[in-house]
Structure 1
Amino acid sequence: MQRRVTGLTAAVAALGITAGVTGCGATGGSGDVTLKMVAADYGDGPANSSQKYWDAVAADFEKQNPGIKVDVDVYSWSDVDAKVAAMVKKGAAPDIAQIGAYSDYAAQGKLYRAGDLLSIPVQADFLPALTEAGQVRRVQYGMPFASSTRLLFYNKKLFAEAGITDAPQSWTELATDARLLKAKGVKYPFALPLGSEEAPAETLMWLLSGGDGYTDNVGTYTLDSDLNVQTFKWLKDELVGKDLTGPTAPGELDRQDAFNAFSRGEVGMLNGHPTLMKQAEKKGVEYGMVPLPGVNGNAKSTLGVADWMMGFKRHGHKEEIGKFLDFVYDDANVLEFSERYDILPVTSTASDKMAEDPEYKHLRKFLEELPDSQLYPVGKTSWAQVSASLKKNIGKAVRPDGNPASVLRHLQNEAAAAESAE
């Protein structure tokens, strides 16, 4: 996941969120309401677990709202979505969930609309692209909580050894640089992780750099468009087919394995997100970052990724959920979360503050890409099925015996069928 929010303390105070609240559905003392929340863990161990962050936020909120208790359970990313799904299936949905997807629950009528929960200043402050991505049939249910974008990372030492003086800005330059890196014995001139871990992300980055994407302007799937076929034909012929992507077949290379190889100094170039910075720095790898190259210059946009906050109707705690979420989206809390986990704010005001603060200089290039980034079509309930199919099949498009047009046509047919069943 990903990014934070904005300074709305004054607005929140003006709306009276510091007042104590009592309500029905009590689970604490007389008149008290206890909100149950499930959240994802952005840490990499007990020392920086998100549980600590949420415990502190909940404690601060409870001091200002003595009638409301907040009980937060944090789970790893490998478990959290399944945990919430199991709770919903049992009829015991949490009041609040901060997880990877919301659209299935919205389509089932289980979620509050964002406008039913948030104050107007808070809801209006979300970055427009993230607001749109949080909508199902033009109604916002998913509230962005964390976000990130992608840039091209390159190893400065390997570039210098290969005589490369500038980072690539186009596909032609990228392929040329990859050939120079290979000639110097670099193991992965360009790492292309189309394995199951994050194939939908890597795929979308390349489709965007080729001038298209997963959907058209009205949201209809276009996976087998002419531009998308040309993109994967270029990858197959000019990178994979010329042995410029390393010893592991792209369809078998996971993102974290590619990141690990970059941090070992084995990768010349790859597409990466903010967490790669710290990983590479820990290993002493000096790197550069530039916007993704496109066909004839920088790509029109890059991939944006968001994780989602949602409020379930199950226990009827609309007012209390709204008060807590207004508090969560206060600048101080948002920027604290950003600092801990190197993620980007999801609101305009927090983004502006981050851009102006030298403390966040290392995230500035990612931040600059966020407003125009393209997100997965997460508002479609069919997206989960399409994403799973991409993970399973897209690597076949760049195999030596692969047929990009055939693979993308198969994916398009599956996507269209899934969409018609929505």
Structure 2
Amino acid sequence: MAAAGATGSGLAASGCGAGASAESVTLRMVAADYGDPRRGNSTQGYWDALVRKFSQRYPGVTVDVTVLDWKDVDKKVAAMVAEGRAPDIAQLGSYADFAAGGKLYSADELLSIPVQADFLPRLAEAGKVERVQYGLPFAASTRLLFYNRKLFAKAGLDPSKPPRDWGRLVRTARRLKAAGVRVPYGLPLGREEAPAEALMWVLGGGGGYTDKAGSWTIDAPANIRTFEWMRQNLVGRGLTNRSPGSTDRQDVFDAFTRGRVGMLNGHPKLMKEAAASGVDYGTAVLPGDEGPADTTLGVADWIIAFKQGGRREEAGRFLEFVFEERNHYTFVDRYDLLPVTTSANERMRAAPEHKRLRRFQDQLPGAEFYPVGKVSWARVSRELKTSVGNVLERGADPAAVLGVIQRKAEAQDSATRAR
């Protein structure tokens, strides 16, 4: 836990109307860990340094930050809220159910207009529930196809010409397999990455999780066709890792950094891991059914502020500090993530050391994000993690598997409307 602050002059007036406070106030925050404590780069260090700087500027406010593993943070925050002890601020993966329950401050209750306007429009829109923004984007990423250039050359493939469509992807994977590559294509549909990997594939096949009206389309014909194609052409031909439905993302990433995977879908952090392991890799736009995919997956993580403690002014002041350009840039720079503000995004684009990130940045404005604004998304995401990998099991019927998930999603929506 990081702690900062002491009694002092109190909170200065903020852009959203915060007044002076005569007493010291403590904010409790729960955040997710983007680093690896075993390697000494836990996110705790970032928050420790940030709250020390904040307390120097605003000595009347104490900020206690508890950093939790990503696997635990959403669940533990939900438990805290259920027990009536919500943190003042939480940084996590979803927010809509809290917003629908009237538990959150909106963005315009927390932040000044200039800070709100600095958010990238696509991300600000993704943070809305019923046209009101409650989720403040904290960090983002997109996905590209990664491939091992050395293994391509070993298979007699041109490393400058990665596959641009699914047909070429299969032909490339078959060449890699013939050259002795252990995993021609890494396919993680285990619990860790299932919603993301599945969405990348169905987008490439012209499908998605929802339609333009926001209704669930998990068992749409385009999605069923995509998984049937994957079963027949990738898994059925032995061109992937064994048991894709129970393989987690990190396992495939680790295998890629050891030079055992020819191709896989990856996010910016994989670049640093691959480079540190000496892997000569390339990146490309995700292949689609008939050509390069029209869009890719965009993922954003969120900061929210709970009403329970009544500390709107103090929470708003701290969040404005978090999103100051230098503070936000320090975080995304450290963990190879994409900025969520225009100011930090432009700074990263101009930085020579981040040249490899520009392709990810280029993808962000048109990326498809999870339907995080749907109150049912948190439970539907858990169902996808548990079940969607079953579509690739031997003898499975993709239409039946996706149909079950679809019905559960619709039932969750109905239950939400009935509250």
TM-score normalized with structure 2 length: 0.92
| Offset, 1:369 | 0.9
| Offset, 1:198 | 1.0
Aligned to 1:406: 400
- 1:324 to 2:318 alignment: yes
Query: Against the structure 1 CA distance between its residues 22 and 55, is the aligned structure 2 distance closer, same or farther, given a 3 Å change threshold?
Result: farther
Alignment partner of 2:141: what SS? Answer: strand
Superposition pairs of residues 9-408 of structure 1, within 5 angstroms:
22-23=20-21, 31-45=23-37, 47-165=40-158, 166-246=161-241, 248-408=242-402
| Offset, 1:191 | 1.0
Measure the CA separation in 1 of the matches of 2:345 and 2:409.
34
Query: Against the structure 1 CA distance between its residues 20 and 205, is the aligned structure 2 distance closer, same or farther, given a 3 Å change threshold?
Result: closer
| Offset, 1:167 | 0.3
CA deviations 1:234-273 (Å, max 9, x no partner) are 1111111111113x11112111111111111111100011
Partners of 1:22 and 1:68 within 8 A in 2: no
| Offset, 1:353 | 1.7
| Offset, 1:21 | 5.6
Q: Post-superposition, which runs of at least 4 consecutive aligned residues in structure 1 deviate over 6 A?
A: none
CA deviations 1:11-43 (Å, max 9, x no partner) are xxx9856x99643xxxxxx62222111111111
Measure the CA separation in 2 of the matches of 1:164 and 1:67.
62
| Structure 2: tracts of 5 or more residues without a match | 1-11
CA deviations 1:281-300 (Å, max 9, x no partner) are 22211110111011121111
CA deviations 1:186-205 (Å, max 9, x no partner) are 11111111111110000000
| Structure 1: tracts of 5 or more residues without a match | 1-13, 24-29
Measure the CA separation in 1 of the matches of 2:377 and 2:363.
24
Query: Against the structure 1 CA distance between its residues 333 and 242, is the aligned structure 2 distance closer, same or farther, given a 3 Å change threshold?
Result: same
TM-score normalized with structure 1 length: 0.91
Measure the CA separation in 1 of the matches of 2:307 and 2:14.
23
Measure the CA separation in 2 of the matches of 1:45 and 1:87.
24
Partners of 2:165 and 2:290 within 8 A in 1: yes
Measure the CA separation in 1 of the matches of 2:402 and 2:18.
55
Measure the CA separation in 2 of the matches of 1:15 and 1:192.
51
**Equivalent position amino acid for 1:360 in 2:** H
Alignment partner of 1:169: what SS? Answer: coil
Measure the CA separation in 2 of the matches of 1:391 and 1:43.
22
Partners of 1:21 and 1:65 within 8 A in 2: no
Aligned to 1:11: none
Partners of 2:14 and 2:313 within 8 A in 1: no
Alignment partner of 1:194: what SS? Answer: coil
CA deviations 1:323-342 (Å, max 9, x no partner) are 11111101101110011111
CA deviations 1:136-176 (Å, max 9, x no partner) are 11111111101111110000011011111110111111111
Amino-acid identity (%): 56
Partners of 2:326 and 2:344 within 8 A in 1: no
Partners of 1:21 and 1:66 within 8 A in 2: no
Partners of 1:22 and 1:67 within 8 A in 2: no
Alignment partner of 2:240: what SS? Answer: coil
- Count of residue correspondences: 402
Partners of 2:18 and 2:313 within 8 A in 1: no
Select between 125-134 and 284-293 the one with higher mean Cα deviation: 125-134
Aligned to 1:3: none
**Equivalent position amino acid for 1:220 in 2:** S
- Measured on the aligned residues, the alpha-carbon RMSD in Å equals 1.9
